[in-house]
Chain A
């Protein structure tokens, strides 16, 4: 099961974007880019942090060695849930460009997300229940960072704003896992 439905349903909203600066100078002469390298580096580090977490049974990049996304297998019992295992999908796009206009960075769009990245951390159970924290435009809710949940794949998601304190990607992952545990134990 995936959380693709909500993104497929995405429609335009009122946010307007502008490029903050040219990325041309970030292209390396060897054909790689610093943006690609940074995304690879951050996902690799998040993979290591997930492996430390007591709820995580295993974690792999979706594509071996590429780490476009991470996919972890979780022990459901750690969250007080029935069933043996659940999955956690993590996507991370650091330093998105374009982001919201500079004037918007003090607005609600970015106020709830001190880490400037597009990301998805999404939990799914074989029962059909899934939920997650997403930082990306979504027409169903104001701002970028939000929580979404549904009981079954045929249900519609419910959305609500989310806030986090961590300002590093690795700390943020631990905070999300803690908040996720609170959510799942309700």
Chain B
């Protein structure tokens, strides 16, 4: 970011800049992406110069936090899925005992079973397909989409817990075995 702030920066951006560093803003914008974006796009959203964004993104790529892909000769950036998965597992290992993990897994399996029964569906994809039909209203589609998303979140979380339980004794006793 240049020392002189652009005169048209909105107030909320000034507040953000006051409470988060340029690196933190670049990282945060990138970690909330739903699709890969270029350095100039990330720079604009993080209120930094394109070169500053590229420097920070290069560092995040080196740390395996972010992946870089080339699309028509332009680099695009996106959160590294392995990094996010290992980070989430590490959080589970730090915050939860093996017994608590087992209890959470049971609760998630109960939730998933309830969705299967309530919607007469085997996967959340079925709910999304139901939501996409022409006869479903916008509110019904929204409700089905929300239920599908909750289901997908539960499945993801369950997969994390299962990984954590399987490797608990190794990873919890030797945190250095986790690279993030």
Binding site for B on A (CB under 8 A): 10-19, 22-24, 27-28, 30-42, 44-46, 48-49, 52-54, 64-66, 68, 93-98, 116-118, 136-139, 165-171, 174-175, 177-179
Contacts and interface: CB of A to CB of B under 8 A. Distances in A.
A152 to B, nearest CB: 25
Contacts of B141: 15, 17, 98, 137
Contacts of A39: 149, 152-153
A35 to B, nearest CB: 5
Given A19-B128, A24-B125, A27-B123, A33 B12 contact: no
Given A16-B134, A137-B139, 10 more contacts: A28-B159, A32-B158, A40-B156, A52-B24, A64-B95, A96-B145, A96-B149, A98-B132, A167-B41, A171-B29
Nearest to B151: A36
Contact of A19 (B11, B132, B142): B132
Interface in B82-106: 84-85, 88, 91-92, 95-96, 104
B57 interface: no
Given A39-B149, A97-B145, A11 B12 contact: no
8 contacts: A11-B139, A42-B31, A42-B32, A46-B32, A97-B145, A118-B145, A175-B12, A175-B13
A174 B13 contact: yes
A174 B12 contact: yes
Interface of B: 10-13, 15-16, 19-20, 24-25, 28-29, 31-35, 41-42, 45-46, 79, 81, 84-85, 88, 91-92, 95-96, 104, 123-125, 128-129, 131-132, 134, 136-142, 145-146, 149-150, 152-160, 162-163
A37 B149 CA distance: 10
Query: Which among A17, A34, A117, A137 has the highest number of chain B CB atoms within 10 Å?
Result: A17
B159 to A, nearest CB: 4
Contacts of A66: 153-154, 157
Contact of A93 (B11, B123, B145): B145
A175 B10 contact: yes
Contacts of A45: 28, 31-32
